[in-house]
Amino acid sequence: MGSLFRSEEMTLCQLFLQSEAAYACVSELGELGLVQFRDLNPDVNAFQRKFVNEVRRCDEMERKLRYLEKEIKKDGIPMLDTGESPEAPQPREMIDLEATFEKLENELREVNQNAEALKRNFLELTELKHILRKTQVFFDEQEGGLNHTTESMTRALITDEVRTGASMGPVQLGYMEKSNEREDYLPCFVAGVILREKLPAFERMLWRACRGNVFLRQAMIESPLEDPTNGDQVYKSVFIIFFQGDQLKSRVKKICEGFRATLYPCPEAPADRREMAMGVMTRIEDLNTVLGQTQDHRHRVLVAAAKNLKNWFVKVRKIKAIYHTLNLFNLDVTQKCLIAECWVPLLDIETIQLALRRGTERSGSSVPPILNRMQTFENPPTYNRTNKFTKAFQALIDAYGVANYREMNPAPYTIITFPFLFAIMFGDLGHGAIMALFGLWMIRKEKGLAAQKTDNEIWNIFFGGRYIIFLMGVFSMYTGMIYNDIFSKSLNIFGSHWHLSYNKSTVMDNKELQLNPGTSDYEGTPYPFGMDPIWQIAGANKIIFHNAYKMKISIIFGVIHMTFGVIMSWHNHTYFRNRLSLVYEFIPQLLFLLLLFSYMVLLMFIKWNRYAATNPMPYSESCAPSILITFIDMVLFNKPKDPPEGCKVYMFSGQGFFQSLFVLLAICCIPVMLLGKPIKIMQARKLANEEVQPITGATSDAEVGGVSNGSASHGGGGDQHDEEEISEIFIHQGIHTIEYVLGSVSHTASYLRLWALSLAHAQLADVLWTMVLSTGLKQEGWLGGIMLTIVFAFWAILTIGILVLMEGLSAFLHTLRLHWVEFQSKFYMGQGYAFQPFAFDAIIENGSASSGEAD
């Protein structure tokens, strides 16, 4: 089979590069993205490798670019992104890049430091301006005789007159009388600003520490001030504290320092305050001019950097990725040649050689690189080529487990089976159309949407699965037409094949109305496509009819899906030439599934074909046996119960004999699956010991040792059972046999989720129509139009939010489980490891040049 159905054939190669050409050659391979290098220095510390200094230089350049990016984003400057990927610079260009980044960083840091110093000075002058204004009001009140305590005063001055018993007379706030005798009692004050949220605690601390011997006035600064350190807007208040004595002065200053309050000089004389205020205003105007020029210069620097920042990031990350890859190489004894080992796709060897040749020509080296294939018994990585359409489906498979090397890839089949099984559960023409249109919109706008590169994880999941969403919507529209279901209603396209004898009121109002195909109301011919719309009015037996139909098709598609999975294992066994697994696993597994569950599906078709309401005895509807009861009696070897008079026990002649034969054959398949393979391996080992020679022919699962470089490890081959104890082989085979036999029953029942979710989806849609939208449709007149608009909006929100999003997610997860457990368990091991080539596109997309360091 081609690479679409299996992973690419891989080969291990040894690469010899001249030291002067190694950088250019690795750069070309990074642009190509088809080579996965192995680390030939696993025991060497990362700091002891040859190109560690170059990697550090790249780290330093990345740090500077991140600093520039942060500053650019802070100012909201758009960064130019042309979508182009420049080539990796030559090593000599690193010096120019480092010099450019160093100059930009130093210039920007210097501008930021100057701007911060100017902003800090501006903040201080602004706070001083507010202090001079507010304190002027305080002193004006004092001079006007308002020196008594008011509601705006938070603390009253308590003099120590009571403590000493000495009367000082009236005290004038802010007035300092020169007196040698009472120098400690001369009143003085301090003024400053403090954060508004700290003010209550500041007042309490002053009161307690100074024992009430202070007088505090405060006023809020209405406009917020900018913090120069982080640019945040903060609210502050001006305060002035009056006190007496050096001891209180020391306490007050310590408290202010503890609360991060800023103190400013405030002259006592009004003329001095006015003169200082004028000087402050002049300096603020000058600072505004200088700050504006500084911000303009900073903006110009950032705009110039924003034009090239994306390209600089790409260049630096490519350089770093190249040197990180070169650290994986070995040096030969002459120190002039680098040796590497790498996994490459077999079909792309010529393309890789051309890329190496281009790199050699770019470097000017005269010695061509050498690429040699190596023989190895290691398991190669799994590489499945994908495009934008198949990538999402391959991601669903890889989420379960990466396929073993050259194992059958379920992704191509999942493109059809996944949306189809989803649609069985989600079948509604209207809901499917909404989903398909959403997926189609993302497909049509994919270039623009992909260029946005948002960090919204939910959106990225939707956009990555746009083709899955579109196909799920299209398939849901198809199954919706089969169910004849659009927003819980039906379309009468071809005209009903029923002619009811009831009057209109009975049809519209009678909830117990049933459709009986045995009467003359039914024409006897089926509806041309899908369900007949007449079933919408059958309130009594509509759900019964849909239940029987959807339950049966769930089992039918489930058995077909599982049988297809078993057949896929045949492709694995034949490809890996694993005759033991083919004879003792595939054949009994397929027989077991066909003899029991495919026979049950056959009975469903026989029942549909032979029994009808209009048929005479013994094939009338009343004589139709239950498939479930028939299957249970078959497995348990029970004798069927006597049928009603005029009916037959079996559907066809010889049914009892064939059923007993099928069950016996199915039971015989179990010991074959359980013991056949281990016994054959045990016999082969015994024969080998007797003849003292290796096991040859089809005697073990290791026959595939030389296929595909001897690296097949699964798919029926490469199990290497010859290295296991025989007891472990028996236990291993017993577990797989029990899992398959019991799983066949449980997996078949698991497909009934198709019926259950389909029924739930249809009933939820019917509830929304009946309980919500129909109430708006029943209103008449202009008021009914307004009511219908409101009700329709509410119904549309519930439909999209519940039936499309939530029900869609539920059906998606159930479909995913059916593929992972019921389908892939029949043939898919998923124990390989993914091919991770050295590719610049992936490194740049991940935003890190060292994406391979985790290996």
pLDDT digits (tens, 9 = 90+) for 87-99: 899 989 999 999 9
Residues comprising the chain, all counted: 855
Identify the weakest region by mean pLDDT among 97-101, 657-661, 778-782, 820-824: 778-782
pTM for the complete prediction?
Answer: 0.81
Six token digits for residue 552: 């049966």
Q: Are 561 and 593 in contact (CB under 8 A)?
A: no
Q: Is the pLDDT of residue 186 over 60?
A: no
**Considering the chain, what is the average pLDDT of its residues?**
85
Identify the weakest region by mean pLDDT among 99-103, 127-131, 619-623, 804-808: 619-623
Q: Is the pLDDT of residue 429 over 90?
A: yes
Q: Is the pLDDT of residue 157 over 90?
A: no
Q: Is the pLDDT of residue 707 over 60?
A: no
User: Mean per-residue pLDDT for 410-439?
Assistant: 96
Three-class SS of 30-67: HHHCCCEECCCCCCCCHHHCCCHHHHHHHHHHHHHHHH
Q: Is the pLDDT of residue 602 over 90?
A: yes
Reported as a single tens digit per residue, the pLDDT across 349-406 is 999 999 999 999 998 888 899 999 999 889 999 999 999 999 999 999 999 999 999 9
Q: Is the pLDDT of residue 164 over 50?
A: no
Reported as a single tens digit per residue, the pLDDT across 6-45 is 999 999 999 999 999 999 999 999 999 999 999 999 888 8
Q: Are 429 and 477 in contact (CB under 8 A)?
A: yes
How many angstroms separate the CA atoms of 385 and 375, rounded? 24
How many angstroms separate the CA atoms of 838 and 850, rounded? 10
**pLDDT value for 424:** 96
User: Mean per-residue pLDDT for 785-790?
Assistant: 90
The pLDDT confidence band at residue 158, using thresholds 50, 70 and 90, is very low
Reported as a single tens digit per residue, the pLDDT across 796-820 is 999 999 999 999 999 999 999 999 9
The pLDDT confidence band at residue 720, using thresholds 50, 70 and 90, is low
User: Mean per-residue pLDDT for 533-544?
Assistant: 82
**pLDDT value for 419:** 97
**In the chain, what are the domain boundaries?**
411-497+517-690+727-826
Percentage of the chain modeled with pLDDT above 70: 88
How many angstroms separate the CA atoms of 258 and 844, rounded? 50
The pLDDT confidence band at residue 838, using thresholds 50, 70 and 90, is very high
Q: Are 669 and 695 in contact (CB under 8 A)?
A: no
The pLDDT confidence band at residue 187, using thresholds 50, 70 and 90, is low
**pLDDT value for 824:** 95
CB atoms within 10 A of CB 616: 9
Query: Reading across the β-sheet that carries 215-220, which strands appear in turn?
Result: 215-220, 236-244, 187-195, 262-264
In terms of average pLDDT, the best of 38-47, 287-296, 554-563, 636-645 is 554-563
Which residues make beta-bridge pairs with 18? 337
Six token digits for residue 766: 């019917």
Six token digits for residue 323: 């040197």
Which residues make beta-bridge pairs with 229? none
Reported as a single tens digit per residue, the pLDDT across 294-328 is 999 999 999 999 999 999 999 999 999 999 999 99
Six token digits for residue 765: 């849609």
How many angstroms separate the CA atoms of 225 and 234, rounded? 5
Q: Is the pLDDT of residue 699 over 50?
A: no
How many angstroms separate the CA atoms of 13 and 71, rounded? 46
Identify the weakest region by mean pLDDT among 118-127, 146-155, 552-561: 146-155
Reported as a single tens digit per residue, the pLDDT across 435-491 is 999 999 999 999 989 888 788 899 999 999 999 999 999 999 999 999 999 999 999
Q: Is the pLDDT of residue 697 over 70?
A: no
**pLDDT value for 521:** 80
**pLDDT value for 721:** 62
Helix (H, G, I), strand (E, B) or coil at 384: coil
How many angstroms separate the CA atoms of 791 and 464, rounded? 34
**pLDDT value for 347:** 92
Q: Are 662 and 652 in contact (CB under 8 A)?
A: no
**pLDDT value for 513:** 75
CB atoms within 10 A of CB 397: 23
Reported as a single tens digit per residue, the pLDDT across 564-584 is 999 999 999 999 999 999 999
Decide the pairing of beta strands 187-195 and 262-264: antiparallel
Helix (H, G, I), strand (E, B) or coil at 462: helix
Six token digits for residue 213: 């011997």
The pLDDT confidence band at residue 272, using thresholds 50, 70 and 90, is confident
Higher pLDDT, 497 or 826: 826
Report DSSP letters for 315-335, one per residue. Answer: HHHHHHHHHHHHTTSEE-TTS
